[in-house]
Structure 1
Amino acid sequence: MQRKRLICSAFTLATSLLLNGVYAQSLRPPAYPLVTHDPYFSVWSNTDKLTDSPTRHWTGKPQSLEGIIRVDGKAYQFLGAVPTTYEPILPTAELKPYTALYTTTKPGDGWEKPDFNAAGWTTAPGPFGDTPEAKTRWVNSDTMKEGIYVRREFTYDGKANPADLLLSLNHDDDVVIYLNGTKILDKTGYMNEYQNVPLSAEGQRALRTGKNVLAVHCVSPRGGSFIDVGIVNPIKSSAVATATQTAVTVSATQTDYTFTAGPVGLTVNFLSPLLLDELEVAARPVTYVTFNAKSSDGKPHSVQIFFSESATMATNTAGQTVVTKAGQTPGISYQTVGTQAQPLLGKTGDNVRIDWGYAYLAVPQPSVASRTASGPTTDLKQSFMDKGQLPAAANTTGSEPAQNVALATVLDLGNLTKPVARHLMLAYDDLYSVQYFKQNLRPWWNRDGKVTMSDLLRTAEKDYARLRQKCTTFDAKVRADAEQAGGKEYADLCVLAYRQAISAHKIVAGPKGNGKDAPVLFFSKENFSNGSIGTVDVTYPSAPLFLLYNNELAKGLLRFIFDYSESGRWKKDFPAHDVGTYPLANGQTYGEDMPVEEAGNMMILTAAAVQMDGKPDFAREHWSTLTKWVGFLKRDGFDPTNQLCTDDFAGHLARNANLSAKAIMGIACYGKMAQMMGDQKTADEHLALARDLARRWMQLDSDSDHYALTFDKTPGSWSQKYNIVWDKLLGLNVFPTEVAKKEIAFYLKHQNTYGLPLDSRKTYTKSDWIIWTATLAESDADFQALIKPIWKFANETPSRVPLTDWHETTDAKQVGFQARSVVGGYYIKLLQKRLMSASKK
């Protein structure tokens, strides 16, 4: 009884806060976070109505969650659109294994025609290329200039309408495709994922009932090599009536939707309890989904809720074969799904999803009124819509393509006369999360290897009421603190950034020590940049959120970079750019160093971490490495050579003034850390040097009413000098206040509709850097004047993806990147308030 009262209390509090406007927002998010834990377990809704599209992994691939409420026998969909499935006419490897004829020697004339004699060609499994997905190796080389030629025969039964068919392809690089000797596509460039395009009119005319031949020629004069082509028929399930969505609200850890379904009101809450002051909870890969239903007309109504999770939650592609299993643990029933192959830590790269480990759908069992099942998605749904139940024989341990399989539950709320709340849990056990210099590391929650997912689900269930209440209180505090620090628009942006920033990381236990003594490693994935793991110049903008809410995580972003240098694996006198490509942290894979960038970043962030600790222990532990890096900055940092900085997408720059400012900050930070360690002589030396370099910087870079992009002072050039913000945050007093004042006045005159451009070269921008730049402002009015265009961008962007940090200031469109951790940098204004308050005590 007491536990029921706690649950009702938590629900009442959350509902009261929502209805009374504590969480009120006018910002329309570009995408809505639903399940947010790490780079693999991350599901979003990219439409304002929850039923307007399938839910998706942050990369954009469908990972379908579906919800249907049945009221007095009538079904209403409230979660997810019915995802399209694809019947293969000629399958790609994304849907089904196949073999094909191929040659890398230029064939004779007519090779693309159906009656061509392909004797001498080789039969091998597709696709072809040099990526992990390729089944037959084909590489770009000087000896293979002709590329690859592929022939595939298939039978078309004539039942599908050719006008509905899609050409499914993934190619690197240029491709020409023929159907029965007719050219149907000639496409240059490359893709990094499968795409479906309408079968051309020529292709529709060339398609025959009976035997057909698809012939493909692909060349790869640069970079990687890959080719896979097929033909599919899109199959859409029959439509279901939709519940009417009446509201949606996003807070730091929760997303709430409200609906009406005939005479019943429904609230659906997605809670990922990323409470950074409780590391065990934050690292727990469990999201709660809570349903609150009530009669709107005061009359009793028979209500059941169906919820399903697609098996694609545990696969990289929709066609991978999966197996399901049912399980029980005291008080909880669950279903789980994973790939049959289980290629542990087998895929690296950017636009990929996990295909090892197991997804879970778990339901508390307060009565026999709930049960779980797995099986064909359409069978599960149809049984519910017809009978309000799952089919008795749905469970299966057989292997099926992921797109056809789901895990599901039905929650029977009975004859509803008063409000009823029920919940379920979505979880993921990745077994091992990261490979760290050839050693596989477990997730933090199971760092000693002794905790089972059943154990974790029981713990999470016991914590449910407490976490709902604590998260609701925390969410209100985040919004209130951010609004006090920077205004309402700033608060909206911070709230939107919170879960995204955290879930672009994975918390793992380091190899040193064991069990509870293991150090925290906090690995980022460079989402939709290049897929790197532990990128220093991604850590740098992300860090403010973690410095603010859990400094141990902030230090966890730095430990592996220190270890890389101190182990002797990285031998240069500046830090590495990264430690690999996610999830393999076996050494830098990025093709070019960023010497001044990464040395400055590591120096600044280490100083910030010890400042937050209030003691220099972390710096002292790595002092010899920091000393080596500051030596590099003193030698090569002030007037940088032609090199990349974190804004590498903008190209190389020599004599980069903002990069020089970072080097100066790094030298000053070394002095500050020396001071904290009691070495006043070293402190005085480096702080004096930094102040002298700042004066020289001003002389070299001053250009009338602002400071230039480079020391060359190209007429009219300028850039955001966001790196100087640490002078203010850490109280270094290196740059005179006139520098920031002059720059802010200049920036306010050069904003576009959707923000301040990054620099004078282009009109695009980085929203994280704008907020850092705005934090240089002395007045709240100036800060908010720079923030409001970013809010306008987030509210109006047509790019419906998890928040991009790289957008065009003229039309609000995404230029690149999405779902990255760097939006944690939005919290820098809050961090400034915290540090300034601490310094006054």
Structure 2
Amino acid sequence: SSTFSPFNPPSIPLAVKSPYLNAWLPSGSNPDATPPNYVGNGGYLAGQYPAFWTSSYGADGDYRLGWTGYIRVDNTTYQWMGNGFGTIVRAGQNAKQTSLTYTSTRSIFSFDADGVKFNVTFMTPVWPNDYFRQSIPLSYMHFSLDRSSATNRSVQMYTDIDERWCTGHDYDYQNYPMNMQWVDNANGSSIYFVQRTNPQQYTEFRQRAEWGSATYAVRKRKGLSSRNNNNVVAQLEFLTQGSMTYDHNPVGGPDNSFSYAIDFDGKGGDEALFAIGFIRTPYVNYIKKVPSKNDTNHDGSPKSYLQDRFGYWMAKYPNFSDLVSFFMDDYENALDHCIKLDQQIDQDSQKAVGGGEIGAQYSAITQLSLRQSFATLEWTVPYNDTSKSYNTSDTIVFLKEISSNGDMQTVDVFTPQFPMLTYLNPEILRDIMRPIFEYTESGLYPNKWCVHDLGVYPSAFGHNDGKDEPMQVEESGNMILLALHYAQLVGEKVAKPWLSSHYKIMKQWAEFLIEDSLVPAAQLSTDDFAGTLANQTNLALKGIEGIAAIGHIANMIGKTDDAKNYANVSQTYIQAFYGYAINKNGSHVKLDYQDDNSWGTLYNLIFDRLLNLGLVAKEIYTKQDAFYPTKVQKYGTPLDSRYTWAKTDWQMWASGTADNTTTKEFWIEELYKYVTDRKEDAPFSDLYETLDGDFPREPSTPRVLFIARPVVGGHFIHLALDKANAANNVTEYQYG
């Protein structure tokens, strides 16, 4: 049996770089569920195909991705990836998987095939400070043969992908045909590009992009052969002779193998490098105000248009083959970078929570979260028709709210994601916030509060009618709080002009918070899956913190009168808040003012600590620390008194606000217990049932599936706190 380190996740990241390059290995299962869940096979690469992020949820139809791996040892073939044995070709043995180790950027599988040992590493580089490299929608697979175990053995390997990587319309070749371009030698790499014959720009089907090219590349070396053909023909040829006939004819039907084989018997070395990706152009479109002052609609409102946005990488490599070639050549550099980043996140995570066993648990959580969260982001630039070039000075990072509804640039989704971003590079947060500022400042959005999102991925069409999902206090508070956080991290000199340019709209939002945050009207919070609620305590706290934060911003940019006013209002409101929010026996803060028996996770308290506001009394921290463990279920304390589900990002935020070590560690231990029990088969879910550790479902809760979402970036809150405290020179927190 295989070992798993640091643990065996519910789903193991393989090639996870963008919303459309998002391949995982389902591991978890729950035979006791109704209906039983047998999707995951325990974390073994062989015996099942990888899955798109949807796993068996979120998109009707097949969610598997054809990705096969065989190794042939002394004329006997073993399977190390996929499920070709017994389905495409005759049944055979799987190579013995001996271990799986994951880090922040790599998933490393070790195998033994009749005594021949080899490793297969899936590496998705994360480049927080290199927008060009981070924007490249490709991922590596590296095969390494242990020569000491292969002496005097004849060894060949094979791998392929199929057409399921390029469309959601799988098994329907007649209506959705595809074509293939073969590049034999692009500066030392061979490349397949597979795409629909009739692509549909800006169209998704079953969460898949219906325009763009799936690509599978290999670094050329001695012993390499390749072929694309029907999957039975291609795979059977390898099983029979250990190599492929050079054959790259047009795609003639469904069930393809775009394959490579490598013979290790020659002098080509003991390694093979592959890249897999999904490359499309353009990426997204984005609503912009028509620049002419006279160009208005009949009602006087400004006109708008949709701007095409392209991958940042196109500024350097507009040719797909050149991009793939660069990526292949950059492998050694990328590997060195990934090893250093992996070590940094591991060490910083352990240190942030005091090391020891709890440090190891927290590090395992953050490492599993990194690729998932970064893969929801895309780095984009516009094309300048005048200069005939891509303008990297106009960079926007766009976010897809994967799984919950596919919204684009959802403010209350990049808000829980921010700890990962600001820990690694605060400029990413700035570039995610930018289109929200631009759109609301343009006059296109009619409401006095902040917009909820900009559309549905991949189209940021805006909400010029003002009928976006109403989270008035939530989003207005979020933007102000995040703006102050960014400013504190980069320093006043850098932040002042940026804050000044957006102060007018933030002041507008702050005035709305003064109207509606102390006693919030019935509305949604970010926990919209739980429904509308009036007088939400957690929402009121966010609004009051937002008012305090705009005071700090006003002070930074020299608006001293505004600063004094907002400070006075926030201090007045927080005192009134205590009277509304604390229950009658004084044991805890209520979920909503009107229900003395209610309770909830006061995760918005994190901004008081993160921003060093000194707003909230120590008594609130102490009460919550003592109260949370009294409501614990088998897999942790629920989000609030309405249901028994829990939110993992808010669990870590509650850990970040904990005043004592016991409560801080309590939250980490409960999250670790949930994710390591693997009742689910999908990428890291941020919403789960505390009674049994599975997805929320009737009768305990409504059926809600949150998988592969950006918000697991919130698990980095302890690292973000350390960075914020250093920027704010905080050694001991001052309470209100």
Q: TM-score range by the shorter chain?
A: 0.7 to 0.9
Post-superposition offset of 1:470: 1.6
The aligned runs of 1:60-79 (5 Å cut-off) are 60=55, 61-79=63-81
Contact residue 49 and residue 82 of structure 2 kept, 8 A: yes
Aligned-partner Cα distance in 2 for 1:268–1:552: 34
Structure 1 position 620, deviation (Å)? 1.6
Q: What's the counterpart of residue 303 of structure 2?
A: none
| Equivalent-residue separation in structure 2 for 1:503 and 1:332 (angstroms) | 25
Counterpart amino acid of 1:433?
Answer: Y
Match of 2:593 in 1: 711
Identity among equivalent pairs (%): 27
Show the counterpart of 1:413: 264
Partner residue, 1:160: none
Contact kept, 8 Å, 1:520 with 1:552, in 2: the verdict is: no
* Counterpart-to-counterpart distance in 2, 1:298 and 1:28: 29
1:835 aligns with 2:727: no
Q: What whole-Å deviation, never above 9, does each CA across 1:618-637 have from its counterpart, x for those lacking one?
A: 22221111111111111112
Q: Among 410, 417, 430, which residue is 1:555 paired with?
A: 430
Q: Pairwise CA RMSD of aligned residues?
A: 2.1
Q: How many Å separate the matches in 1 of 2:329 and 2:246? A: 29
The alpha-carbon deviation at position 396 of structure 1 amounts to 2.3
What do the CA deviations read for 1:262-294 (whole angstroms, capped 9, x no partner)?
A: 121010011111121222111111211111112
> SS state of the match for residue 202, structure 2?
coil
Query: Closer, same or farther in 2 for the Cα pair 1:818/1:239, shift >3 Å?
Result: same
Partner in structure 2 of residue 400 of structure 1? 253
Whole-Å separation in 2 of the counterparts to 1:576 and 1:447: 31
| Residue-pair matches, total | 661
TM-fit CA distance, 1:696: 0.8
CA distance in 2, matches of 1:26, 1:552: 31
Return the offset for 1:811: 0.3
Residues 705-752 of structure 1: CA deviation (Å, up to 9, x unaligned): 10111111x132101111111110111111112211111110122121
Shift of residue 770, structure 1, vs aligned partner: 0.7
Deviation at 1:55? 0.4
Deviation at 1:323, TM superposition (A): 0.9
- 3-state secondary structure, aligned to 1:641: coil
- Cα pair distance change 1:705/1:510, threshold 3 Å: farther
Q: Match for residue 372 of structure 2? A: 500
Q: Which amino acid aligns with 2:207?
A: V
Question: Counterpart of 1:674?
Answer: 554
Name 1:283's counterpart in structure 2.
135
3-state SS of the aligned residue for 1:635?
A: helix
Aligned with 1:359 (options 205, 210, 214)? 214
Aligned AA for 1:602? M
CA contact (8 A) 2:621 2:658 kept: yes
Residue type of the alignment partner of 2:226: T
Match of 1:314 among 158, 162, 166: 166
TM superposition score normalised by structure 1: 0.76
Match for 2:277 among 422, 427, 437? 427
SS in 1 for 2:5: coil
Q: Compare CA radii of gyration and give the structure with the larger one.
A: 1
SS of aligned partner of 1:717: coil
For residues 556 and 82 of structure 1, the distance between their equivalents in structure 2, rounded to whole angstroms, comes to 44
Q: 1:374 to 1:236 in 2, by over 3 A?
A: closer
| Mapped pair 1:324 → 2:180 | yes
Q: Are 2:18 and 1:38 equivalent residues in the alignment?
A: yes
TM-superposed CA distance for 1:366, in Å, is: 3.0
Q: 1:752 maps to what in 2?
A: 633
Structure with the larger strand share: 1
Q: Which residue of 2 aligns with 1:446?
A: 314
Deviation at 1:510, TM superposition (A): 5.1
1:207 matched to which residue of 2? none
Give the corresponding residue for 1:87. none
Provide the C-alpha distance between the structure 2 equivalents of 1:797 and 1:52, rounded to a whole number of angstroms. 18
- Call closer, same or farther: CA 1:532–1:686 in 2, change over 3 Å: same
Provide the residue aligned with 1:476 in structure 2: 343
The residue type equivalent to 1:76 in the other structure is Y
One-letter code aligned to 1:451: P
- With over 3 angstroms needed to count, the CA separation of the structure-2 counterparts of 1:559 and 1:510, relative to structure 1, is farther
Q: CA deviation at 1:415?
A: 5.4
Q: Which residue of 2 aligns with 1:655?
A: 535
* Residue pair 1:332, 1:363 contacting (<8 A) in 2 also: yes
**Structure 2: distance between partners of 1:375 and 1:357:** 21
Q: Detail structure 1 runs of 4+ shifted over 4 Å in the superposition.
A: 295-298, 510-514
Q: Distance in 2 between matches of 1:454 and 1:258?
A: 31
Deviations 1:194-248 (A, max 9, x none): xxxxxxxxxxxxxxxxxxxxxxxxxxxxxxxxxxxxxxxxx66532310000000
In structure 2, what is the equivalent of residue 176 of structure 1?
none
**Alpha carbons of structure 1 residues 441 and 761: separation in structure 2 relative to 1, 3 Å:** same
User: 3-state SS of the aligned residue for 2:209?
Assistant: coil
> Which range moved further: 60-69 or 680-689?
680-689
Aligned to 1:208: none
The residue that corresponds to 2:453 in the other structure is: 578
> 1:838 Cα deviation (Å)?
2.7
The amino acid across from 2:241 in the alignment is K
Residues of 1 paired with 2:561 and 2:468: CA distance? 39
Shift of residue 590 of structure 1? 7.4
Equivalent in the alignment of 1:818: 707
Letter in 1 for 2:220: Q
Distance 1:354 1:743 in 2: 45
User: What are the Cα deviations for residues 630-678 of structure 1, in whole angstroms up to 9, with x where unaligned?
Assistant: 1111111221111111101101100000000110111111111112213
Q: Which amino acid aligns with 1:679?
A: K
After superposition, residues 758-773 of structure 1 pair within 5 angstroms as 758-773=639-654
Query: Aligned pair 1:596/2:485, yes or no?
Result: no
1:26 Cα offset (Å): 3.6
Report deviation, 1:69: 0.8
Q: Is the 8 A contact 1:573 1:628 kept in 2?
A: yes
Unaligned runs of 5+ in 1: 1-18, 85-234
Secondary structure of the 1:305 match is strand
Q: Which residue of 2 aligns with 1:346?
A: 203
8 Å CA contact 2:51–2:64 kept in 1: the answer is yes
